[in-house]
Amino acid sequence: MSKRGTRLAPVMAALILGIFMAALDSTIVATSMGSIIGDLGGMEKYVWVTSAYLVTEMAGMPIFGKLSDMYGRKRFFVFGILLFLVGSILCGTAQTMIQLCIFRAIQGIGGSALMPIAFTIIWDVVPVEKRGKMSGMFGAIFGLSSIAGPLLGSFITDHFHWRWIFYINIPIGIITLGLILFFYNESKMHTRQIIDWAGAIFLVSFSVALMFGLELGGDTYSWSSWQIISLFCLSAICFVIFLLIEKTAKDPILPFSLFKERLYTSSVLTGMFYGAVFMVSTIYIPLYIQGVTGGTATNSGLLLLPMMVTSSIAAALGGALANKFSYKSIMITASIVTAIGTILLGTLDVSTPRWTVTLYMMVIGLGVGPSFSVLGMSALQKALPQQRGIASSASNFLKSLGMTLGITVFGVIQKNHFSAGLPESFKGNAGGEDSRALLSPELRAHIPANILKEITEVLSSSITTTFMWTLIPLVIAIVFILLMTKEKATDSQMYQES
């Protein structure tokens, strides 16, 4: 694609801000939900506020990726920013939980265009020799914003108002919009294709049904309820129909030809399982700090800072090293470090010093960080220019799916282990299955010392057991890493020229 008229520095700044916004809003709401429910009510709709964003973001990724290949990156990146800003403004003015859920869905649609297209534009405008460095920086921003979300959300809510977690997107979005409009000039030559509307509809239906089944199962409804079983059945039916449509579609929304390439398939599947491991660490370390050691929400958020720093450094370093070493060798090293960090987290107990937890988080950050940059690069290594949008979107789609599955599956493991470990006399009281008492310093102070000791030991055991279970998706990820071909970032030049 022609780079004529494009100024790299401001375009890179715009892409960084776009990725930062989209990734941040996936996690920033979590620590503000108490204040939001206090203002708007609707405790029963708690899960929908996050789900509405994640569902529409994940479902829209492949669609916008395909459209950007057909009609250009710029118009859909701009559309994503505008829709994201509209959704953010509406979220900040929401008066009911139903309104907030609807407005979050609008935000998610905008976010689904920002992240995959931003990573694709890098490959369109950045010279081969600089892609490793740039991808590393973008991967660091993605990891940084994902982990920073809960901390920033709690800070804004405590010192300003929960509505500002949405309003903060306005100045960032306006700057992003201005930079991309004035400094990014892409080639007008695009491949005209037929839009696979049937495939898009069934892909979205599959994603939505699956996400709602995972989000509502075991919480709003039991896993064996007709509602959850119906959602999973609907998801499976839509997926089968989607596969049949894609086999015969002239221009499929998700070309199966992408998955014939070994490097692409192994990269995106590695990212899917790696995403599950990453999410368990970011969710259950704060729970450990609040529930086991009695720290505050701010304490638990601050504890993520070491992981944030090391993962960002590792992401940038992984991207830079991809010009000298193969993607495979970098990811093998990273996965070994991640495995060591995961096993260390599995040794935590009620007496573990805070500095030890911090050290273990730094190890996890060093292991997970390279996946943010390296896997995105390896997935696009052999993709043709007219397929980069959909290739990037499919990669991000599967990574989001892995994170969602990780949150749900390991959430069930932790919850069941915690409930099963509680003595019968504790179940049902403020210190028993109502774990919110452990997370509130005020309520925690009223729990008798002997009861608090036993409950925190059970909670600690449930969390460390969950960490050890994450070795399973990590081992699966390692298998796919071993299947990767030994190529590095600079090898992509030969595919461009051939």
Placement of tokens 């995106």 in the chain:
268
Q: Which of 266, 373, 355, 361 is nearest to 314 (CA)?
A: 373
CB atoms within 10 A of CB 125: 22
pLDDT digits (tens, 9 = 90+) for 39-61: 776 655 656 777 677 778 877 87
Alpha carbons 235 and 278: distance in angstroms, whole number: 25
DSSP designation for 217: B
Q: Which two tokens stand for residue 320?
A: 């830079």
The pLDDT assigned to 191 comes to 57
Cα 202 to its chain centre, rounded Å, is: 23
The pLDDT assigned to 431 comes to 39
Parts of the chain with a pLDDT under 70: 1-6, 26, 30-35, 37-38, 41-47, 51, 123, 127-136, 138-139, 142-143, 146-147, 150, 186-195, 219, 294-303, 385-386, 422-446, 489-498
pLDDT digits (tens, 9 = 90+) for 446-491: 677 777 777 788 888 888 999 999 999 999 999 999 998 887 766 5
Q: Which of 371, 351, 369 is nearest to 464 (CA)?
A: 351
Q: Which two tokens stand for residue 145?
A: 């914003």
The pLDDT assigned to 344 comes to 93
Alpha carbon of 67 to those of 73, 90, 190, 196, 254: distances in Å? Answer: 8, 26, 10, 10, 11
Is the CB of residue 436 less than 8 Å from the CB of residue 305?
A: no
Enclosing H/E stretch for 51: helix 46-71
The pLDDT assigned to 495 comes to 45
Q: Which two tokens stand for residue 447?
A: 């729990």
Q: Which of 357, 310, 303 is nearest to 334 (CA)?
A: 310
Alpha carbons 397 and 480: distance in angstroms, whole number: 18
DSSP designation for 295: -
Task: Report the alpha-carbon angle 328-324-322, nearest 5.
Answer: 50
